[in-house]
Amino acid sequence: MCDILTRLKKSDRGIFHSKASLQKLSAKFSAQLSDCTQQMAEARNEYLFALTAANAHLDLYYQSHLPDIMKVLDGDLYERLRDYLSLINKTELSTCRSTQERFRDSLEASLQVSRQQNLQLFLKDSSVFSPNPIQQFQPAGADKIQKLVTLIKASDEMNVLDKEARRWTSRSARDYKLKTHGERVLQRLEDRRKNASEEEVISIIQKMEEVKESVRKAEVSKVKADARVELLRQVGVDVDTWLSGAMTQADEELEQERRLSEARMSNGEMSPTMEDFDFSEFEDMDDGGEIFEESPLSLSGNRSYPTPCHVLYNYKASQADELTITQGERLEVMEDGDVEEWVKARNKNGQVGYVPEKYITYINQRVAESLSAGHIVGLSGAQCFSGILELERSDATVSLARALYDYEGQSEEELTFPEGAIIQIVRREEGGIDDGFWKGEFNGRVGVFPSLVVEELTGDDPNSSQELPSPAPPPFSPPMLSPPSNQRLSANDADPRQNGSGSAHSSPDFAATRLRPMRAAPPPPTKGTESTSSDP
């Protein structure tokens, strides 16, 4: 009896201890269940994206590319075969009266020879060339969800599907622009080939094949992007808003290219780099790898952050995550934006937000390296920004100018640059005398250039923006590649994306060949808009 009472007492104390443990375990398992559910939803979404893109690619291959390839391989074989057989039979009919009936039958049979019928018979016997059925989503385990799920990441509190909508509508518009532009280039090369010499014809044909391959890749990329956009539309994501803005910008830039090209052609000019044109952003694209892993693009190259920059135009924030900036203001770029054509910057008050990258120009790299070495380490917030401003004021030689026109150096001492290029001015006068030539640095090269073909950029003069020409959008790096480090940022050089050196082919005909409208960032203000905004 005593043993029983003793056990009951111990059991009573153990009950409360067991309940507390069970509550802790229940909370722990609930948290783990929530995390697992979130991870499973993310994995499911990625799976659906990849599966949709793969199905779209397969459908395009079997519906378009494979028939085209087979047609090219066959050539005019069947037409020639039909003609030859018909000719033989007709000759025999005219020379061999005795066998006229047989050859008439043979003629009728020969006339029925066609590529389409032979192709149908071939496809019937060879199932490997027939389109595969659409791949269906295969849920994992007991998962019954077979569509995209809305996710909110705590890092930026933004709908992940909205980000995907911006990303893939931008990709679709970019590929549409590249495809359209490539077709125009093919037409130009074809026209040029007709009047070219035999030596030039070979290189032109080779370039045409490269452009055709680039157009094909752009077409494949657009089909997959459109498939993803359609998948997002099916779950209720408002993709039409993003798609409309991106396509409008693409059409505007294509029209701008067309008008510029027509203006050059009407003046009797021909772009010297037309035959050198290519779609370099596709050279290293791996279609297979892209199907399973397409992360947001980073165009920062090897730039170290934070990096100081100079504001070229006023911009008023239109969303909560953006930053209002004024012309002449100095900012500190913290990192690339969550989408293309935007960067995250901090002003002197410590406010952080996204700003359009075209509205700023990066300060001389030598200044950035000095800041990284002696002014930014160990500082943060307003202290770090104060150090940037102090060092910039101490370096009086840092001044920039924008090219008003294309200029080609007449000697080895002179610089060559396109319209809209940002040049760092090294010296204006020689021995106290201004001879009309300034010394500057562009794309890592130091040389002289006429001061009449540039406009100095000053942030202190409020009226300076009225004198600026309407700048064409500067060419920027391809969305799928990380540009070489020697092109992205070299010592004592402004950012190549601002000075137009991001591509070796800077002909005005192709000055705006690349599109990055992830968020439909506003273009830099033109001369007309700047003059209007400055009027009282």
Q: Are residues 317 and 443 in the same domain?
A: yes
- Interatomic CA distance for residues 264 and 270, integer angstroms: 7
User: Which tokens is 515 given?
Assistant: 């599109």
What is the β-pairing status of strands 422-427 and 399-403?
Answer: antiparallel
- 488 and 434 share a domain? yes
Structural domain includes residue 473:
yes
Residue 2, domain member (yes or no): no
Residue 251 lies in a domain: yes
Q: Would 241 be classed as within a structural domain? A: yes
- What does the pLDDT read at residue 53? 93
Is pLDDT larger for residue 261 or for residue 17?
261
Q: At 334, is the pLDDT very low, low, confident or very high (cuts 50, 70, 90)?
A: confident
In this structure, the answer to whether residues 517 and 432 fall within a common structural domain is yes
Q: What share of the chain is helix, strand, coil (3-state, %, to 5)?
A: 55, 10, 35
115 and 181 within one domain? no
10 is a domain residue = no
Residues 486 and 514 in one domain: yes
pLDDT tens track for 80-116: 999 999 999 888 777 877 777 777 888 888 888 889 8
pLDDT digits (tens, 9 = 90+) for 248-292: 888 888 888 888 777 766 765 544 444 344 444 444 344 433 433
Asked if residue 50 belongs to a domain, the reply is no
pLDDT by residue (tens digit) across 365-411? 444 444 444 333 333 333 334 344 443 444 444 578 888 888 888 88
Q: Is the pLDDT of residue 62 over 70?
A: yes
Angle at 484 between CA 481 and CA 490, to 5 degrees: 135
Confidence of residue 340 (pLDDT cuts 50, 70, 90): low
pLDDT above 70: percentage of residues in the chain = 65
CB 494 within 8 A of CB 412: no
* pLDDT tens digits, one per residue of 93-102: 778 777 777 7
The answer to whether residues 95 and 179 belong to one domain is no
Characterize the bridge pairing of strands 342-346 and 330-336. Answer: antiparallel
Nearest partner of 499 among 413, 436, 441, judged by Cα:
441
Which SS3 state, helix, strand or coil, does residue 309 take?
strand
Mean pLDDT of the chain: 72
> Looking at the structure, do residues 277 and 390 belong to the same domain, yes or no?
no
Same domain, residue pair 255 and 325: no
Contact 271, 509 (CB under 8 A): yes
* Among 224-233, 304-313, 463-472, the range of highest mean pLDDT: 224-233
The b-or-e profile of 152-174 (16+ CB within 10 A means b, else e) is eeeeeeeebbbbbbbbbbbbbbb
Q: Any idea which of 78-92, 144-158, 259-273, 459-473 has the lowest mean pLDDT?
A: 459-473
Whether 317 and 287 share a structural domain: no
Is the pLDDT reported for residue 298 higher than 50? no
Write out the residue range of the structural domain in which residue 85 sits. Answer: 75-130
- The rounded distance, in Å, linking the Cα atoms of 289 and 294 is 8
Helix H or strand E encompassing 449? strand 445-450
285 with 311, same domain: the answer is no
Question: Residue 234: inside a domain, yes or no?
Answer: yes
Higher pLDDT, 534 or 187: 187
Give the per-residue pLDDT at 504. 34
pLDDT, residue 236, reads: 86
Same domain for 486 and 402, yes or no, is: yes
- SS3 state at 16: helix
Tell me the C-alpha to C-alpha distance, in Å, between residue 383 and each of 326, 332, 354, 376, 386.
21, 12, 21, 9, 5
Task: Transcribe 238-303 into DSSP letters.
Answer: -HHHHHHHHHHHHHHHHHHHHHHHHHHHHTT---TTGGG---GGGTT--HHHHHH--PPP---TT-
Q: Are residues 187 and 113 in the same domain?
A: no
Higher pLDDT, 306 or 217: 217
In a domain, 39, yes or no: no
Q: What's the structural domain count of the chain?
A: 3
